[in-house]
Chain A
Amino acid sequence: MNSIEIRELTKAYGAHRAVDGLTFDVLPGRVTGFLGPNGAGKSTTMRLLLGLDRPTSGTATLGGRSYLDLPDPLHRVGALLDAQSAHGGRTARDHLRFLAAAGSIPVRRVDEVLEQAGIASVAKRRIKSFSLGMRQRLGIAAALLGDPGVLLLDEPTNGLDPEGIIWIRELMRRLAAEGRTVLVSSHLMSETSALADHLIVLGNGRLLADTSMADFIDARSTRRVRLRTSDPGRLRSALARDGFELAAAEEGRWTVEGIQAEQLGKLAAREGIPVLELADERASLEQAYLDLTADHAQFTATR
């Protein structure tokens, strides 16, 4: 009942399709990374899911129901849309209090989430005096208020300091481990790969990938090992017999394309060739992601 179902979802603004025939599921118990360049349709998809925008066609549901039909929305879904979604004239505590009142959530829970988000000490300050990182923490506190089974977080690490980034990463992992559905958007692969179990990639409003993080890494990165040996000549001929090529790298090291450390280690042992260092080397995940979205980036700088 905590899964998210997106079916043939389209949102057009005039001739421009911000979201274009999207279909995917987000399942509980894992962190799903929602990736794409700016303007790919991530935020629009989240707004459509919350019923804030009306889809041109298609549906976005939670456990088969529209968000608009949920009797207790704050207990089902917690959303962080953007850090500016609060009136600057209110205090952090008052902002959470009116939300709690709307969801019949006890006031004691307000103080709990303020504490959990690390902003209890500034709870009585007006939000306009908050830094981006503090607003982000307030948004996360608001999302946690109803102890929801589904969390939608749009670029939650935006403006957070390194300590805050580690905090939110661990929080998301813990929430997913408790069996909740966690959908977290980002435009950075490096950030997402550190926390997501599953990956949904958008480009220009279309679905580019819906895959587990492990599969994405396997499929998208070329295999390569880096090694040091005292006998490159024998290793070169041994490798050549199996169709691999030894290539010189900097600082007296060598690289071999298309093979894994395990395979090369066995080969060297069989041949009795001394290997002093041996490690798998992945082509950058960031590069793989950029390759995937290159044709779909809406805003690119001309080089």
Chain B
Amino acid sequence: MRSALPTVPTLHSEWIKIRSLRGTLGGLIAVLVATAGIQALTAAAIGRSEDGSMGDDPLFAAYYGISFGQIAAMVFGAGAVAGEFHNGALRTSLAAVPNRTRFYLSKIATVGVLALLTGQVTGLVTFVAGQAFMGRYALDLGDPGTYRAVVGSGLYLALMALLAAGLTAVLRSGTVVLSLLIPFVLLVSFVVGEAAGGAAQYLPDRAGQLVLHARTQGDLGPWTGLGVMALWAAAAVLGGWLAVRRRDA
């Protein structure tokens, strides 16, 4: 088992791969820019008009921008893995790191750590920047649930990136994964979520976003909701591992 774990050289190699592709690095930066930027702009526009103008749950309203940032997180996760399925790039990578488990774990670890770091910075900046425009309706970092939401939003973004990364390894195409995931979180989950009641709360994005709510209803609490999302991401990452291990390159 030890022989299949990532090593410093394989992690270093994956880091160079990510930062040398414009689209992938751009996706990572867009996580912060989209989430915090849209949050600040929306709060500046309507945040002070009346209490609850950005939503009934003031904590969830503080993370309005995450609906956009999560798409950037998917683009990053999918892009980091999809680069291997461009032409025969995977053959070059596997010739350099023949142990496929080590290769895959190095990539997933690099994606996860970068998304988590970016996510945590995003979570804090979004909260502070967004609330700066809320005037007398602003929340403080000390208010109930805010620390949980700051930390949870970073975890949420990282899990979204890992979900997309794992699915891309299964389906071997970033385009296919994004054209499934983006409509899913923007439309399907939203529409089904309103209609289907009970079961819909277990969808990855719905469950994960519970960590951003001040109060939760239904079976799942904020952390158990994030746990459900982590299971979805883990299933995708596991599926990707099986696909990378089994298939001819």
Closest to B17 in A: A98
What's the Cα separation between A102 and B89 when bound, in Å? 14
Residue among B20, B94, B98 making CB contact with A94, cutoff 8 Å: B20
B83 at interface by CB-CB < 8 Å: yes
Given A52-B249, A98-B20, CB of A87 within 8 Å of CB of B83: yes
CB–CB A99/B23 < 8 A: no
Chain B residues whose C-beta falls within 8 Å of the C-beta of A74 in the assembled complex: 95-96
CB–CB A99/B92 < 8 A: yes
Residue among A84, A91, A104 making CB contact with B88, cutoff 8 Å: A84
CB–CB B16/A94 < 8 A: yes
Encoded as 1 (CB less than 8 Å from any A CB) or 0, chain B from 84 to 107 comes to: 001111011111111100000000
A142 at interface by CB-CB < 8 Å: yes
CB–CB A90/B21 < 8 A: yes
CB–CB B92/A86 < 8 A: yes
Q: How large is the interface on B (under 10, 10 to 19, 20 to 34, 35 or more residues)?
A: 20 to 34
CB–CB A89/B248 < 8 A: no
Q: How large is the interface on A (under 10, 10 to 19, 20 to 34, 35 or more residues)?
A: 20 to 34
Residues 134-172 of A contacting B (Cβ, < 8 Å):
142
CB–CB A54/B89 < 8 A: no
A47 at interface by CB-CB < 8 Å: yes
Min CB distance, B172 to chain A, in Å?
A: 14
Chain A residues whose C-beta falls within 8 Å of the C-beta of B96 in the assembled complex: 73-74, 99, 102-103
Min CB distance, A148 to chain B, in Å?
A: 11
Which has the most chain A C-beta neighbours within 10 Å: B21, B93, B94, B95?
A: B95
CB–CB B9/A104 < 8 A: yes
A118 at interface by CB-CB < 8 Å: no
Given A79-B95, A89-B23, CB of A102 within 8 Å of CB of B87: no
Min CB distance, A247 to chain B, in Å?
A: 53
What's the Cα separation between A87 and B90 when bound, in Å? 9
A82 at interface by CB-CB < 8 Å: yes
B10 at interface by CB-CB < 8 Å: yes
Chain B residues whose C-beta falls within 8 Å of the C-beta of A99 in the assembled complex: 13, 92, 96
A85 at interface by CB-CB < 8 Å: yes
CB–CB A91/B20 < 8 A: yes
What's the Cα separation between A86 and B13 when bound, in Å? 15
CB–CB A101/B92 < 8 A: no
A1 at interface by CB-CB < 8 Å: no
Encoded as 1 (CB less than 8 Å from any B CB) or 0, chain A from 39 to 78 comes to: 0000000010011111000000000000110100110010
What's the Cα separation between A203 and B91 when bound, in Å? 25
What's the Cα separation between A86 and B244 when bound, in Å? 18
CB–CB B87/A54 < 8 A: no
CB–CB B91/A102 < 8 A: no
Min CB distance, A27 to chain B, in Å?
A: 22
Residue among A47, A53, A70, A85 making CB contact with B98, cutoff 8 Å: A70
Min CB distance, B194 to chain A, in Å?
A: 40
A97 at interface by CB-CB < 8 Å: yes
Closest to B14 in A: A98
Task: For the complex of A and B, list the 5 residue pairs with the smallest distance between their C-beta atoms, beginning with the closest.
Answer: A94-B20, A85-B88, A102-B13, A101-B13, A98-B16
**Known A50-B91, A73-B97, A104-B9; further 12 A-B contacts with Cβ < 8 A:** A68-B99, A82-B88, A86-B87, A86-B88, A87-B83, A88-B86, A89-B22, A91-B20, A102-B12, A102-B13, A103-B96, A142-B92
Query: Can you report 16 residue pairs joining A to B where beta carbons are below 8 Å apart?
Result: A50-B94, A52-B94, A52-B248, A68-B98, A79-B95, A81-B91, A86-B87, A87-B87, A87-B89, A89-B21, A90-B17, A90-B21, A97-B16, A98-B17, A101-B13, A102-B93
